[in-house]
Structure 1
Amino acid sequence: MALRCKSLITSFAFLAMTGCTIIPGSHFEGIEPGNQTTNLEQELEKVNIQIIDSSLISQQKNARKAVKPISSLVGVNTRDYQYKLGVGDVVTVGVWDHPELTIPAGTQRTAEFDGFKVQEDGTVTYAYASNIPAAGHTISELRKDLVTRLARVIENPQVDVKIVSFKSQKAYVTGEVKQPGVYPITDTPLTLIDAINQAGGLTEAADWRTVTFTRGDKTEVIKLEDFYANGDISQNRLLQHGDIVHVNRNDKQKVFVLGDVNKAGSVKLNRYGLNLAEALSDSGGLNEGTADANGIFVLRKSNVEQTGVIADVYQLHAKNIAALVLAEQFELQPHDIVYVTSAPLARWNRVISLLLPSIATVDSVDDITAN
């Protein structure tokens, strides 16, 4: 069957090349038809052809099956996470049994207003303890330093230190999310998935398959779909100050439907995917008078450097109800090309229709000459 399909494809390509020579001015200079045919046959040896059947559908489903449970905090190191203070953060300090060292909460004042801000030099100043290093330190380290200093004037001080305003560190979520903006890094670990959720999730125009993640001068592509659909927790990231998460548009997420359909063109994939039946339906369906129901092909580019295969070609025999069920279950990928061939008689008629204008022109010239 694969050999038959390759022969069919070779015939299509050969006819396309030789057909070009029928039209004036369509010949490619410097390329002989014989060379084109030889090169084409060599390239087709690198094409992997498969029939769309229940076995292939089963392979697709197994490949998409999630292998691990999904959690936004799994796959990133949050167990040892500790927030480190920075310039602009505000802390409050309370000392048990020493109300004179604890600022009482005012009815019209906030904890942030009454708190102690980490200054530009990275220090915090408190009673009996001036210029305590804070920036780059955890809250536990600040508390320990504060206890040591207060112990000089207070016996066994019981100190409580809390962060009441996180101002020093932030991450950015941009692009196609519902609420793009700046999101603070706090004492609660913030992952890439959490940040997207806080930004309201993806918009309808978002590329749900990948996002770009930038830290410093390094940018990487995060496979978002692998996380959501397949449970690949390695795609998650624990965000740090200055990280940028950008969600692109899905303009390039489309397939192309060509050949003998009623409305050839591109069809967009949505975030829930697109199957072969939907793509054909969105293209107006097959041309019932001329299309070959056994000639529905899906061409998918392959990584030739890794696999040695230029493209994977899938063929659907759509002359029975079972085949339509298979088409509904065959998931397409971005940049797939769906091509519907014409029936042999229709192809012959098309060749004749191309030749008729030339024959008519010759007949007219003969008539003029005869007169």
Structure 2
Amino acid sequence: MLPKSVLLVVFAFLSACSTIYVAPDVPKNDEHVVVVPVSEQTISTYNRSGYTPKSLPSVFFQSAGTSGTLRGAGTLPESSLPEEQRPSTLRSNVPVEPRVGPYRIGVGDVVLLATKSSRNSVEELSGLLAAQNNRRGYTVQDDGAIAIPDVGRVRLAGLTIEEAEAELFQSLVENQIDPAFSLEIAEFNSQRVSVGGAVRQPGVSSINLTPLYLDQAIAAAGGLAVRDLDFASIRLYRDGTLYQIPLQEYLDNPDMQRIRLVASDSIYVDSEYELDKAETYFGQQIQLTTVRLAARERALEELTTEISLRRAELDEQRSNFQARIELDGVDRDYVYLAGERSQPSRYTLPFGRQTTLADALFDGNGFSSETSDPSEIYVLRAAPKKGHQERVLALHLDAEDATAFVLATKLELRPNDIVFIAEQRVTRWGRVVNQLGPGLIAAAIAAL
């Protein structure tokens, strides 16, 4: 036991000591502090308080893509075919049966996305509806893609319907949109066959999911308009090769009529024997195709340049905004973190979503599991005044039972809330001893 003189010195030291360790705490019996235990009922009550998180600027939701119609070369010139001298004989030259697979979607096709609703539209799928020419669908644009709101551009050109469904399914899942849909082609515009010459209505026929045969293409052009069968023929231009079928042989042989056509075939019903006349027609078709391709390439270059400029502008605006955030030049909402944490700090409320107590507790500077008291976790919030007196609402989470942290994932924080975690009692006494210990020892030594 210490001598009486030593004890007197110790007490004298304590009396003269100007700094005694004081631990912050939340008063339980203070009329200015309203302590409310955190429960399912209180969470439901205090989450109703109105708070709208700050939103990111609209530039973060914009896409550099652009929509538009196909750009072409304008009105095509009329065909001009001079009269030619008829040859003496005609020989049949028939193309081999082409190898064709399932239909592949191409530029200009209109695809229709439909949910299972009775409206048979994509309205419930994305909340928006893209339409062209008052049709409910999406046109495959110059770059081979369709632009779906909330999803972006999805490339479908060159895909079968089955492959396109898989591509759309993946895109919808990645954008967290219900992928329940059906896909069909509403308009077939990418694969066409031209019909000219001695027919009643020269034009083009589209190839769709079902095969297109020679007799069907001629029938779609209004049928034959030939006066003399003996001097007429059907010319078929395919992949750089010119085929011909005497018209009489075509009419007499059903197999000739059922020649299957493929995309870009050109058919010319010639009432003259001379092959040069048909070659002139096909030469014009080739030239017009070249003009269209050149115009399409120019349009794609313009589109690419435009998108690049838009993307650069969007990137610059986003970069400027992020730089303002780093320089603390953007008005933000904060929650302040105090008590037994690695270090006092403030937690920035994120853009566009609510933040819970768990978010603040488990951020990078989380609470200290060694010194903090999990039964004394508080969210301090300004409460309505009582008369002229300021009051503080203390939402108390007792997480001594670890399952109570589930409640922390539900309690929403509000700007200027203070998350306070009390220290353990043993931590408090340890700090008192650490603070006073050196002085007590020195006083005891001095008294000896």
Same topology, TM > 0.5:
no
TM-score relative to the length of structure 1: 0.40
- Return the TM-score normalized by structure 2: 0.34
Instruction: Tell which structure's C-alpha radius of gyration is larger.
Output: 2
Structure with the bigger RCO (C-alpha within 8 Å, sep 6+) is 2
